[in-house]
Amino acid sequence: MANSFRLTLIHPSIGRRKGQKYVRLWQMEPLPPAVIAALTPKDVQITFHDDRIAPIPFDLPTDLVAMSIETYTAKRAYQIASEYRRRHIPVVMGGFHASLCPDEVAQYAETVVVGEAEDIWETVIEDYKNGTAKKFYTAPTRPELFKSTPDRSIFRDKKYLSVQLVEAGRGCSLRCEFCAIQTVYKRSQNFRPMDQILSEVRSLRDKSDFFFFVDDNIVTNPGKAKEFFRELAALKIKWVSQATISAAKDEELLQLMQQSGCQGVLIGFESLKAENLMLMDKSINTLGIDYEEAMKKFQRYKIRIYGTFVFGYDHDVVKSFEESVEFATRHAFFLTGFNHLTPFPGTTLYKRLEQEKRLIYDKWWMDDTYSYNLLPFRPKLMSAEEVHEQCINARRTFYSYSNIMKRLVHSVNQGFRKPFFLMNLMHHKELAKRDRYPLGDENWTGVLLKATR
C-alpha cells in the first residue's frame, strides 16, 4: 500500500468566525465524498477530512485532493486549495458550484469536474496516475445511479448526528427560477435501482432506525414512489424526506407514506402570495391546491411538516412574514425555515436580477463584505436590510418557548414529542449563531493562489 496512489477527500465548511470553532449543531454525514470514495478504484488509498469538525492536516502526504463544493462553501474551498497548492499538490473540484461556475472554479483547481461524477471519476483518477490529467472533465449525459452506493467507511471515527442519509433519486423536474438543482440537472430526475436502496437501508438499520432520504422530491413519480413505500414498509424504519405539496392530492400515496414509516416531509411553500409563486415559476404550488385542506390531509396521516419560505420576492412586505409565521404556527409545523431569497449563479433568477441591475455584489460568494443571511440583491418593496431583519424576527417568534409549546401539544406532534422538543430547542439556541456568518475562514491569513495550468 506504501506505493499506492493517495487521494485526499475533503468536505469544506462554509467558514469560521475569527477565533471561534465552526458552529456544530447539525452535522450529518456528507454523502458526496462517500459517493466519490465508492467510485474510486480499489487500489487507491483514500483519506477523508471534514473541515466542519476538525482541522485539516495539510502536511499529511497525498497525491491528489478532491472536493465537492457548493456556492456557500466555494470561498473556503479556494482557501483550502491554496494551502495544497503551496505544497505543490493538485486539487480537483466538482459539485454544484463547479457545474454552475466552471470557469471561476478552474482558477483555483487544477481540474474541474462538470456534472455528475459517476461516468467520469475513474478516468480522472487514471489520468492523474498516468500524468495525463486534463483541466476539464464534463459528464456527457446524466448517469445511471447503480454505482452510487456511498462508501461510508470514510466516516469511521467521526461523530455525526445519528441520522442515516440515503439517496433514492437525484434531481428535480420542476422549474423554480431560484433553484440551482433544476439548473444543474436541467429539470430531470434519475433514480437508483430499488433493490440497491433497500439493501442499503437494511445494512444501516443497526446504526439507527431513523433515515433521511435526501431526494429533492421523493414523490416526483407517484407510481414509483408508491412501489418504493410498499417495499419500505417491511423494513420497519422511521424516515423523513422532501416532497411537494401536490402529494396531498393523492391519499393512497399519503397512506403508503405513513405505513412505510414516514415521520415528516420538508415542503417548499416558498410564499403564501400567488403573485410571488407565479414569478418564481413554482407551478406545482399553484395548481388548484388548497393549502388549508392539504395540511389537514397530511395531519390525518400523521405526516409532520418542515415548511420553508423564501422572502425578498417582488410582492413581499412586512405582513408577508407575519402571515407565514401565523400559518406555520396554526398548522403546528414541526420546523420552519424563514429564509431570504438567494440568487445562485447560473440560475434564471440570477440572470434576471443581473439584467435588472439589482445585484448588490459582483459575486456575493466571494465578496469580503458579504456574510451569511445578508441579501445580495435589492428587493422591490422592502430594503435588503428589512428583509434580513424580518427573517430573523420570524425565526425568533416561531422558535420562542411559547410557540414551541403551542405546537408541541398539537395532536400531529404527539408520539414524536422528544425529537420535536430537542430539535426546536436547537433552533432556538441557534438563532443568532449563523447570522452574518463569514464565507471563508476569518482565521486564515494566506493568499488565494490560482492554478497555473
pLDDT tens digits along 355-385: 999 999 999 999 999 999 899 999 999 999 9
pLDDT at 175: 85
Residue 2 has pLDDT above 60, yes or no: no
Residue 26 has pLDDT above 80, yes or no: no
Residue 98 has pLDDT above 90, yes or no: yes
Average pLDDT over residues 82-106: 97
pLDDT at 111: 98
Grid cell listed for 270: 416558498
- Measure the CA–CA gap between 213 and 240, rounded to whole angstroms: 6
pLDDT at 1: 43
In this structure, CATH architecture of domain 6-144 = 3-Layer(aba) Sandwich (3.40)
- Topology annotation, domain 152-430: pyruvate-formate lyase- activating enzyme (3.80.30)
Residue 286 has pLDDT above 90, yes or no: no
- Measure the CA–CA gap between 136 and 101, rounded to whole angstroms: 12
Buried b or exposed e, range 436-447, using 16+ CB within 10 angstroms? ebbbbbbebeee
* pLDDT band (50, 70, 90) for residue 285: low
- Measure the CA–CA gap between 389 and 374, rounded to whole angstroms: 9
- Measure the CA–CA gap between 44 and 7, rounded to whole angstroms: 7
Residue 187 has pLDDT above 90, yes or no: no
Average pLDDT over all residues of the chain? 94
Parse the chain into domains and list their residue ranges: 6-144, 152-430
What pTM was estimated for this model as a whole?
0.95
- Percent of the chain at pLDDT exceeding 70: 97
> Across 141-155, 174-188, 358-372, which has the greatest mean pLDDT?
358-372
Give 279's Cβ-side CA count (13 Å radius): 18
- Measure the CA–CA gap between 273 and 317, rounded to whole angstroms: 11
What would the DSSP string read from start to end of 393-439?
Answer: HHHHHHTSHHHHHHHHTSGGGTT-HHHHHHHHHHHHHHTTTSTTPBS
* pLDDT band (50, 70, 90) for residue 174: confident
- Measure the CA–CA gap between 82 and 84, rounded to whole angstroms: 5
